[in-house]
Amino acid sequence: MSLVRNLITKLESSALFPHAELSACLRTSDADEIRQLFSAACKMKERVTGRSVFFRGLIEISNVCMRNCFYCGIRKDNAKVQRYSMDEDEILHAAKKALDLHLGSIVLQSGEIQSSEFTERIEKLLLRIRRETEEKLGITLSLGEQSAETYDRWKKAGAHRYLLRMETSNPELFQKIHPKKQRFEQRVACIDYLSSSGWQTGSGVMIGLPGQTYDDLVNDILFLKEHNVDMVGMGPYLPHPDTPLTQHFPYTSGTLLLSLKMIALVRIVLKDVNIAAATALQVLADDGREQAILAGANVIMPNLGGEEFKRNYNLYEGKKDLNDNDDSGMSRLLERLKQLGQKPVWDEYGDPRHFFSRSHP
């Protein structure tokens, strides 16, 4: 029996988590096994969301960050970064672009800032976006760890999805890639709070981190399942030259194949979640995101910020998505999706089915 058949049989016949079977799928280099894995993931996706592809217009609102994550290009101590914060009008302009393009949803992402001014600024911004776009856009936030009160205020102001990757489910590895005062437990507490307080909650990991094992990746899938996430965003770890992690491990990076396998396995195990074709995949292959769609992902996040901003939002080296928002970039993407038999969905929030099928207080 093939590796993926083995996995599916185990999932259907046993309540035990299929560690060994998942690990075997991650390790295989057999082209036929890999083909079968992606095809099983696509079948599962078609069962739960058809061939729909949802879009979220990504707006990178600021690269100012108070954190010093060892892997991230916009970490506070990277003095080479030219810092920016888009003002309200600039962000509104980008949000309206999402409306014009019929994308249905936006993601507001920035470096992490914890302050009452920031909480308030985002709150006001959300109210204004809701008002000026007549609530026609789904709003996802990706603004890091915050207090329960801040999350509540932002939810009340109109956001309904939150992305907060745990980066890895291995607490020791988490600690190796973050300064001491960033705690794994704190990150997990935020994810659990979001999920239990009515947010559509997304999490995920970087794939191919220095010191990360196949077992870690299998446990990442288990973590995402146990924490009942609605959305998953995972991509390859890509070294950024001006970070401590790259200076210590200059030759380590994630691969496209391992990232695609993770997407496929998450689809097979978690079934009705939304899975993003991470932007970082595009660094490894021009059609990385389309390949992710064929491995089980169902969400693409075209970048909507202006050139002057996007250039300075480099979490990793080699960011290539600089022309998503010119019309030819977008139509090229759509043309390729059409060739692959996929069906872009317009003017809908594109909520993950899992959010409605799971129980949440």
Residue numbers at the binding site for ligand 5AD (CB under 6 A): 71-72, 165, 167, 206, 235, 237-238, 240, 280, 315-316
Closest-CA residue to 148 (of 196, 193, 195, 182): 193
d(CA 269, CA 257): 18
What's the closest the beta carbon of residue 147 comes to ligand 5AD, in angstroms?
A: 19
What's the closest the beta carbon of residue 35 comes to ligand 5AD, in angstroms?
A: 27
For ligand 5AD, which is the closer residue by CB, 167 or 290? 167
Q: What letter would DSSP give residue 303?
A: B
Q: What letter would DSSP give residue 301?
A: -
The residue assigned the tokens 């936030």 is 141
What's the closest the beta carbon of residue 69 comes to ligand 5AD, in angstroms?
A: 7
User: HEC profile for 198-217?
Assistant: CCEEEECEEECCCCCCHHHH
For ligand 5AD, which is the closer residue by CB, 36 or 142? 142
Q: What letter would DSSP give residue 194?
A: H
What's the closest the beta carbon of residue 237 comes to ligand 5AD, in angstroms?
A: 5
**β-pair type (52-55, 57-62):** unpaired
For ligand 5AD, which is the closer residue by CB, 44 or 154? 154
For ligand 5AD, which is the closer residue by CB, 42 or 284? 284
For ligand 5AD, which is the closer residue by CB, 165 or 289? 165
The phi, psi pair for 232, rounded to 5°, reads -130, 130
Closest-CA residue to 58 (of 123, 112, 127, 137): 137
What's the closest the beta carbon of residue 254 comes to ligand 5AD, in angstroms?
A: 7
What's the closest the beta carbon of residue 144 comes to ligand 5AD, in angstroms?
A: 8
Measure Cα distances from 83 to 61, 71, 97, 117, 308 in Å. 11, 18, 23, 18, 11
For ligand 5AD, which is the closer residue by CB, 104 or 235? 235
Closest-CA residue to 209 (of 180, 243, 236, 171): 236
What's the closest the beta carbon of residue 206 comes to ligand 5AD, in angstroms?
A: 5
For ligand 5AD, which is the closer residue by CB, 45 or 240? 240
d(CA 187, CA 54): 27
Residues present in the chain in total: 361
Closest-CA residue to 12 (of 36, 35, 44): 44
CA-atom Rg of the chain in angstroms: 19
Q: List, in sequence order, the alpha helices (H) in the chain.
A: 3-13, 19-27, 31-49, 88-100, 116-132, 148-156, 171-176, 184-196, 214-226, 244-248, 256-270, 281-284, 288-293, 307-310, 327-339, 353-357
What's the closest the beta carbon of residue 108 comes to ligand 5AD, in angstroms?
A: 12
For ligand 5AD, which is the closer residue by CB, 4 or 164? 164
For ligand 5AD, which is the closer residue by CB, 42 or 281? 281
What's the closest the beta carbon of residue 150 comes to ligand 5AD, in angstroms?
A: 18
